[in-house]
Structure 1
């Protein structure tokens, strides 16, 4: 009997819910995902092992011959033994350790099993399970860990003979979303809403056998969506070569497990700070280039600016915000013949003064193809409105997109949900259609009959230059300008007022200190 999506999701959430007595929901993922993947590996290995035994029992193979046949034909990874040669020897499998849940030291055995699997499969599972700090008795008691494992064991067997990778991958994504819905910032840091990911992928259109790169890959959702949408459009998603870099080791492990759960094996996920230490490089030290680059990097991240880096196109992003540094890295990572990139960022990147020189260079080099204004409150960790910036390698824009930028105002295209706004499939289709609509310079397109209409306009480079390379969408689309005040002007006015207030407070505090009045905080 086939396993339903609802059934596996309910069982997995029951297991996660056992953690409520031990840790906040934001930390559930660090426990549930390694356990879920361990069970998947163990169930798959055991299923293949039983198939091997059934098909070869009459051959009378020696132990050495049986091992060679099984691992050359039936198994794609190893589940080794822990504590070999001792009385504590047992296979590092889910079922073997589950049988010992009532014995002391459960966390130690779980950790030893996961580490043994990593060591036995270095090419596939190296550093896969992360730090495993949760396996410590001080973090998670043996009683709670046992309860989680027993609840998860009620989940149907996780192997291809019992459930498809679509179901398994869907369950994994369900947990990612559930953790993000309920736990706010920490979980939301590595989960971008599905509809935003799909919009970005639809715009960039990955093709079979292309390379796809996410420099801040989080849980790997954008890489997976690239393969899924290519398959949905009749392409071969499994042919994509997927690359990701993630700064947090545990989150990189989540991404690797996520990719495996979706039956995607042509991938590399590296750990490190993309700006400081890009892990995908050429032999000469320059960054590796890809066909498609897409990302939702951390917004306005404080960073240590480059001192001498060839990625710094048009200038160096300020220390207070690495937004444009991520863009510069993505531009440098575009294949020169067909590279394209898309990134989700806050509106400030469009008009902040410190980054004007970068915007000038990017626009003058005709690299920026589109600016797409998204609705507010789409994300789990911030309510601010965001934009998608789309870039093309030099000289690769289609003729009607050259020497200018397409502006699309999709800020009204959403529906309200319980915790956040949502872009519907129809909204995604409308925005993608607007991006592909052929327009003459200066024309503005809008459908006033639509309640959630969007407007678009292709703006020539000369007009953007006349506005000193301010990309604030209200400067170029009448509808956006009519509905809201110039956000750039408001921000500038606020910053000036704040600076004046700080100067006044400094003078006041100096006068108070001279008068012998200390500790005046307000």
Structure 2
């Protein structure tokens, strides 16, 4: 995404916020409506062109009597006429569009125009109209939306943060489950569809001619770092409009290489054009998400659309409820990959909980895990973020779920996340569970219930765990355990998950030993500990010098005591022999 596009997006943001549209979710929702209307107008031009050439069976969204609802027909209106036309005519038309385009109708159903100032609305429409989306690749269109979401995420007090898992954690989880074309991929609490987009980008990067390496902090961070370098080396002051990154990719690659050399733990990921994907429709039809909020569902849908998924399988509904607005097909479909960070704090009325879920709990975090157990296809992989309490809770419901996870699935890893990973929005301690569902009657070597569990403790995730600036945590590219975790995992996988990296859990390590980042524990040992799955419960202990001295003293005292006991027993034995 070039600097001109960034400036347009920043201008739209400033116009809306100055015009009173300052709720982050409302901001994104309103922008999404307008962008979608512009996209559909551009698509209509493509359809008309194809029809003229006799190469399209696609039906127009705007038959002759409805031409006036097209963006290109009303975008010149102004004042109250523009505002009322969109509110009272365009939105109702789109929400009742023909049955061939039900996904569009569902998107606009109950839509409300909340840009109340006609002048603000006109300014925003003019800026959006200047962007020709059809000339942009899906990667650039996706970057536009990600930029808006990230921009909001950095704003102090942003409500959107509660719906977004940090990018570095999403990328890690996708890397661990390795989605592939043909996999059905699901998030039962999808929020803005971050996991689904990352899974899509991961797959696209495997089938690309042009691949770009991106720092986990995003392109804006890279630009900022390059500006810092230029300004430190010159008495002149440069700004981002003078950067040649957009026209000189070799310079960008060279500078990123320099950053990686000076920061070996700098986390990056790959983005590709996906031109070698053998069946795009298969990939498009394999991504599924559900969210309880209609606003968030719309944001997720637009995120997918701008990333090239024209008919996104995103639905509004409650995954946990018998009356959640979902069909039986939605509720009982099986998926090869599940990626999720479900809400932790919810409590459902028992009467509302789905029939096939546990009846001994109302806690949403337990119910969501049970949903994933059921929704995962045989041989499927799941990576899910859970609150720490789920790993050690002592209620029957907690223990039964952990028993099932160990004995009926293959729990491959528990990854402990830093307590500050969700700051400034939440300080709750969490972990990632990584597990596979067994295949019935399969003799495949790794198709066995949990034998060993690998634990990895992430202390640093590339951001300062304590400081908060401007609504987010400052970047610390030199402090990030995630690249090491991925490297250790790949070694583990390479050798068939036979020998987990690290030392055995609960080991005693001698004075001077390096604090371990990872360790493993036998499933039998876990069952002996009430199926407790917290990483810290099994962390190897290092004996420091004082502890060693204390241990020597304790052993010497024990030996002296045993000598005294032995002496007394010998005297007692002599007395008994004499009396016989």
TM-score normalised per structure 2: 0.68
2:118 is matched with which residue?
142
Cα shift readout 1:333-365 (whole Å, capped 9, x = no counterpart):
0112x2111111222221122222322232232
Matches within 5 A, 1:44-443: 44-46=43-45, 49=48, 51=49, 69-70=51-52, 73=55, 76=58, 78-80=60-62, 84=65, 91-104=68-81, 106-110=83-87, 112-118=89-95, 119-120=97-98, 122-129=101-108, 131-135=110-114, 140-154=116-130, 156-159=131-134, 162-182=135-155, 184=157, 186-234=159-207, 236=277, 238=280, 239-240=282-283, 241-265=286-310, 267-277=312-322, 287-305=332-350, 311-312=356-357, 315-316=358-359, 318-319=361-362, 321-336=363-378, 338-354=379-395, 355-379=398-422, 381-394=425-438, 398=446, 402-416=450-464, 418=469, 419-420=472-473, 427-436=481-490, 437=492, 438=497, 440=499
Contact 1:317/1:325 (CA < 8 Å) preserved in 2?
Answer: no
Taking a change above 3 Å as real, the CA distance of residues 199 and 101 of structure 1, as seen in their structure-2 partners, is same
CA distance in 2, matches of 1:382, 1:268: 29
CA distance in 2, matches of 1:165, 1:369: 35
CA distance in 2, matches of 1:279, 1:28: 26
CA distance in 1, matches of 2:20, 2:155: 16
Which of the pair has the greater relative contact order for Cα pairs under 8 Å at 6+ separation? 2
CA distance in 2, matches of 1:359, 1:311: 17
Taking a change above 3 Å as real, the CA distance of residues 309 and 145 of structure 1, as seen in their structure-2 partners, is closer
Contact 1:366/1:403 (CA < 8 Å) preserved in 2?
Answer: no
CA distance in 2, matches of 1:72, 1:453: 68
Taking a change above 3 Å as real, the CA distance of residues 14 and 217 of structure 1, as seen in their structure-2 partners, is same
**Residues paired across the two proteins, number:** 442
Cα shift readout 1:362-412 (whole Å, capped 9, x = no counterpart):
223244322111223333632333211112102588379832322111123
Give unpaired runs (5+ residues) of structure 2.
208-275, 506-513, 545-580
Contact 1:356/1:469 (CA < 8 Å) preserved in 2?
Answer: yes
TM-score normalised per structure 1: 0.75
CA distance in 2, matches of 1:480, 1:260: 52
Cα shift readout 1:4-60 (whole Å, capped 9, x = no counterpart):
4332232123112211131324231121111122212223323554x45xxxxxxxx
Contact 1:411/1:454 (CA < 8 Å) preserved in 2?
Answer: no
Note the C-alpha offset of 1:290. 0.8
Give unpaired runs (5+ residues) of structure 1.
53-68, 447-451, 483-522
Contact 2:451/2:522 (CA < 8 Å) preserved in 1?
Answer: yes
1:23 is matched with which residue?
21
